[in-house]
Amino acid sequence: MRSIVLATRNPGKLREIQRVLADLDVRVTGLDEAGGIAEPEETGQTFAENARQKALYYARATGQWCLADDSGLVVDALGGAPGVYSARYAAADCPPSAGRETLDHANNARLLRELAETPEEKRTARFVCCLALAAEDKILIEADGVVEGRIAREKAGENGFGYDPLFFVPELGCTTAQLSPEQKNSISHRGRAVRRFAELLKTHLTRT
């Protein structure tokens, strides 16, 4: 069985990807099992660039294949923000030691403030996910996924994480935080990217 380190300490993200890759002959673990590896500086201007940087960095640090994603929310009325800064959009409003839930709450609060005067028809947004799998010396596979929606005026739902309580999918009539994990994986940006990645990985494993 091939071991793959997922470049995250976010348990929600780890669970989502483990579910999609469950049928493949791979074991996916998070960074919490890899020891105290310092985080790399993310200097990419796009999600794809950051995914490649992280995948190569952690592959070299662990000596294993590493799967990294960079994903986030792109809001049209904010000129594409928060974009690559999605996870730390409101970091300045939080103490340095703030955990993921505190940051998520602050990020959502900032987004609502900045869109307070934005009419419904201009609250369009999309979640974007770019994945990169790396060995120590090269990128092996890349895949991406996108889901379109709009930003709700208040949070709804208890599932998911990040901006899920505010990301409303018109076709479903609810936010992604109101979906079950299985429903969310079927339509989410990360679910789409990981399913595409799984197809490519299956082919790659048969050749190695």
pLDDT value at residue 141: 97
pLDDT tens sequence across 128-180: 999 999 999 999 999 999 999 999 999 999 998 899 999 999 999 999 999 99
pLDDT of residue 19: 85
Tokens for 1? 């069985």
CA-based R_g, the chain, Å: 17
Q: Write the pLDDT tens digit of every residue in 41-66.
A: 888 999 999 999 999 999 999 999 99
Q: Which fold has domain 2-207?
A: Maf protein (3.90.950)
Which of 68, 104, 113, 99 minimizes the C-alpha distance to 86? 104
Q: Is 24 exposed, middle or buried (0-12, 13-18, 19+ CB in 10 A)?
A: middle
pTM of the entire structure? Answer: 0.86
Domain boundary assignment for the chain:
2-207
Q: Put residue 5 in one of left, alpha, beta given phi > 0 → left and psi -120 to 50 → alpha.
A: beta
Strand arrangement, sheet containing 2-6 = 26-29, 2-6, 65-75, 124-134, 139-151, 167-169, 174-175
70 classed as catalytic: yes
Q: Catalytic: which of 69, 70, 104, 144?
A: 70
